[in-house]
Amino acid sequence: MNQLIDIKNITLDPERLVESDKVASTMYTSEVLFEQEQEKIFRKTWVWVAHESEVPDKGSFKLSTVGREPVIVVRDRKQNIHVMLNRCRHRGATVCEIHKGKTSSFQCPYHGWGYGLDGSLRAIPHPEQYGEAFDKAQHSLFSLRTETYNGMIFATFNDDIEPLEEFLGAAKKWIDLFMKQGGGYPVKTMGEHQFSVPMNWKVQLENTTDAYHFPIVHKSFLQSLDAEAEDTFTFLDGEGFVEDLGNGHSVMVMIPELVDLEADLERKIPERFEELADELRAEGYPDDQVRRIVRAVGGSGFNLNLFPNVACSMAFFRVLTPVAVDKTDIRHIALGMEGGPDAANRLRLRLHEHFQGPMGFGSPDDAEVWERIQRGVEGGTELPILVNRGIEKEEQGEAGPRGHVSDETGMRAAYGMWKRMMQE
């Protein structure tokens, strides 16, 4: 094997760590790199923090993170969404420790500094000792630049970055397609599974665009499906593809017939959804609406990987939080139809539980192999991580290089962006 990485000269130069077809295993293990990533990636780009349905009303909030930094996502009285550091401007305590809820203000438990929903400092107990020069307007909760696209809320510490829509670019079309799984209703979140895996965050970033592993790692999931559904999920021999969408984003189309959920409504209803269709008809839904809901209920046929921390993954949001160089928290957020039929939303919940989360038929097997990567790369530091699958057969797609569904085109897209950002 002549493809070793020259570790004698590996400083931590991004140019040497990431090549077009392979990356250094140090990428998963270097604490120095991990710290640099926090500064150069998670503090510099748009990071997904929440979906709008998680903060539906005035005063609704949820806690999230931008990189490792704790933030509050909140909707104010004027319906504007703010993302603010969860840190009192006085001595640094968190001003909220409730995961989600509704409030009219945030108050620091230490000395009682009170903040409005827009983060403005409203009240200080015994303010006289601060003197007249103290300007409350200069002591609001630290506010991050916040923009949304089709319900997805992103925040950034970087005031100079391009507008969110420009950053998303070619990925916007796929976000729009993904949201069609509302089946004619707005998409809403319906709870989440959270689990921690002893792995570097980039292992997760890769996995969402890795179809190659699916029939191997998820064989036990496939075996639990009926024959028709098993056939649907056996997509490596199909017409799917992976395409680089620019800025580190990529899309992996696994089931092409489920790309546009509003097309082909006349298609035969899959066996596993027939019971739902019958139930909806019995409830009085007209046939075209039944078909639209049932077509959407299983989710989209693709994974959209948005650099650096979120994926619109078939039927749910997959969110990563980098906790330490060898520790990553994963959230699988279930999605449903806001105002849609209960029977459809219940089925979506059961489908989510079937694959996702700590007791799903899929996630635990993913977590096992991710952990084994972290354990494996403790050996052979000079050996590279290969991301070369399909590189010679890649063609030009609509937005960028396109390869076979099982190719590592999406990983190359993400590592290209990683390299670009780490060199800036």
Partner 1 sequence: MNNAEHDNLLWRVTQFLWNEAAMLDAKEYDAWLALWQPKGLYIIPIEEAENYADVLNLCYDDDKMRRDRIKRFQDGFSISSAPPAVTVRTLSRFVIEAVDGQTVTVSCAQHLVEDKFGRQRLWAANVRYTLTITDSGFTLEEKVVRLLNSDGVLNSFSYLF
At residue 225, what are phi and psi to the nearest 5 degrees? Answer: -95, 160
Would you say 76 or 353 has its CB closer to partner 1?
353
Instruction: Count residues near partner 1 (CB under 8 A).
Output: 37
Q: What is the DSSP string of 206-224?
A: HHTT--TTHHHHTHHHHTT
Spatial distance between the Cα atoms of 139 and 14, rounded to a whole number of angstroms: 38
- State the minimum distance, in angstroms, from the CB of residue 12 to partner 1: 28
User: What minimum distance in Å lies between the beta carbon of 317 and partner 1?
Assistant: 13
Asked if 378 interacts with partner 1 (CB under 8 A), we say: no
Stretches 39-47, 153-161, 165-173, 361-369: which one binds partner 1 (CB under 8 A)? 361-369
Q: Which position among 12, 229, 269, 369 is part of the footprint of partner 1 (CB under 8 A)?
A: 369
Which residue, 363 or 406, has its beta carbon nearer to partner 1? 363
Binding residue for partner 1, selected from 361, 413, 415, 422, defined by CB under 8 A: 361
Q: Which of 191, 286, 339, 376 binds partner 1 (CB under 8 A)?
A: 191
Residue 382: alpha-carbon gap to chain centroid: 31
Q: Which residue, 68 or 99, is less far from partner 1 as judged by CB?
A: 99
Strands of 226-326, DSSP E: 241-246, 249-253, 302-306, 310-313, 316-324
Interaction with partner 1 in 293-312: which residues (CB under 8 A)? none
* Contact string 327-346 vs partner 1 (x = CB under 8 A): --x----x-------x--xx
- 161 contributes a contact to partner 1 by CB under 8 A: no
Residues sharing a CB contact under 8 Å with residue 405, sequence separation 6 or more, in sequence order = 211, 235, 236, 238, 240, 241, 242, 252, 253, 254
CA pair distance 192, 333, nearest whole angstrom? 4
Q: Which of 43, 122, 272, 354 binds partner 1 (CB under 8 A)?
A: 354
115-144: contacts with partner 1 (CB under 8 A): none
Q: Is 185 in the site for partner 1 (CB under 8 A)?
A: no
- CA distances from residue 22 to 19, 298, 320, 370 in whole angstroms, order as listed: 5, 35, 23, 18
Angle between helices 342-355 and 287-297 (to 10 degrees): 20
Tokens at residue 164, please?
A: 């969110």
CB of 391 to partner 1, least distance (A): 27
Among 165, 239, 283, 368, binds partner 1 (CB under 8 A): 368
Instruction: Count CB atoms within 10 A of the CB of residue 194.
Output: 13
The residue within the footprint of partner 1, chosen from 33, 177, 190, 252 (CB under 8 A), is 190
Q: Candidates 68, 77, 91, 99: give the one binding partner 1 (CB under 8 A).
A: 99
Residues 201-220 that bind partner 1 (CB under 8 A): 217, 219-220
CA angle 176–182–186, rounded 5-degree value: 85
The alpha carbon torsion through 179, 185, 190, 194 (nearest 10 deg) reads 0
Give the binding site for partner 1 (CB under 8 A). 99, 190-197, 217, 219-221, 223-224, 329, 334, 342, 345-346, 349-350, 352-354, 357-359, 361, 363-365, 367-369, 371, 375
